[in-house]
Amino acid sequence: MNTMLATAQASIRQAAKDLGYDDAKIEAFLQPEHEHVFEINVGGKIYPAYRIQHNSKLGPYKGGIRFHPNVNQDEVQALSTLMSLKTAAANLPLGGGKGGVAVDPKALTPAELEQVARGYAHYLAPYVGSDKDIPAPDVNTNGQIINWMLDEYEAVVGKKDPGAFTGKSMDTGGSEGREAATGRGGVYVLIEYLKRKHLLDQPFTVALQGFGNVGYFFATALRQECPNAKIIAIANSKHTWVNPAGIDVTKNIDGVDYPRPEELNDLQNVEALVPGAIIGVQADVLVLAALEDAVTGANVAQIQAHTILELANGPIDQEAEPVLHDKNIAVLPDVIANAGGVIVSYLEWVQNTKGEHWPEDLVNTRLAELIVPAAHHMFKRAEEKSIPYKQAAFELALERLLS
């Protein structure tokens, strides 16, 4: 069992026991309802593939598909379990699922990438659909890949079903605001937390780990929504850059829409540090927007932030969590903090089923209408019981799933 699955299951067991559920009910919940394990053959190369459908009590399974060399069944099961809790905590009429292919998309030609995408959708066509399971993009997948999957799925089932996949391009029924949704939702959660602690009106600094889609859009939304925020450090998989004067991610030397850190004006004369240095940067808020297990027992002592925002899935392992709690470092957990992605996926699905297309302002408004109350319920439960925010979010979700 990998670390993320062990951590997720331990957190669920603890929260469920505190709510009074018996072991048999808890263990039954932890088991996925369906596990699809198969292979995709592209030019004689075999790629292991997975779709775990964890829980459908509240509605169709929902969850992304990742293409990454390290994808494995335990990881996908952990992510599908967390999706069940995430959709429940956000009070969405959806269940939890997740998928992946153990492949490095950078090593594929465009034609091979399309074959992998279509092979994945072809196998799963009988098991997905707008009323069964609604996949979406995740790590290393995007609107183009989802378009291929939807096209293959519709060819297999012989009918149009645009709500069967979300995260599509605009011309195939995608939603405005979908690409920025996870980062923007994280900003909304952080704002509500800082308001609650009477810290929003004061200047605060941010260190950002991860500068892909989620990290970049978090940074741009933070600039729009929080004039008192100053990003002072950014890290990707290669380096960490620290600029105490502040980093404006909207200003870059090439004028591109999605710059790399080294292309930002404010980092031109900054020494590049090792990637892991971001964990120890002295900042008020540490944003974890990279991959799982970024904070572990080995590096948790380096953290100087008073607040951590989990925008990646499972970025803090089981060994590090109690250390952060003992140090009074607030952790705004992924189950709420990065729910913006699944919320806007849900809104895309609603638009598809209604044959509508909403402007971005309306999508963002409805995102806030769903994620802000979810955050407040979590804060309230945590304060009432003096428990970590993650446990509070898990309790709220499990009450809906196990009742």
Helices H / strands E in the chain, number of each:
12, 12
Place of tokens 């004006």: 265
Q: Given strand 61-67, what is the order of strands in its sheet?
A: 34-42, 45-55, 96-101, 61-67, 133-137
Place of tokens 């140090």: 327
Write down the H helix ranges in 306-359.
321-326, 334-337, 340-354
SS3 70: coil
Q: Please give the structure tokens belonging to residue 182.
A: 């996870």
Tell me how far CA of residue 217 lies from CA of 123, 181, 249, 341, in angstroms. 33, 8, 9, 12
45 is catalytic: no
- Contact criterion met (CB below 8 Å) for 145 and 153: no
The single-letter DSSP state of residue 243 is -
The residues near 193 (Cβ < 8 Å, ≥ 6 apart) are 307, 330, 332, 375, 379
Paired residues of 332 in beta bridges: 309
- Closest to 7 (Cα-Cα) out of 238, 310, 329, 382: 310
Place of tokens 């970590």: 388
Residue 352 burial (C-beta neighbours within 10 Å; 0-12, 13-18, 19+)? buried
Place of tokens 């939807």: 150
Residue 164 burial (C-beta neighbours within 10 Å; 0-12, 13-18, 19+)? buried
Sign of CA dihedral 380, 386, 390, 392: negative
Catalytic residue among 98, 168, 230, 390: 98
Q: Active-site residue numbers? A: 98
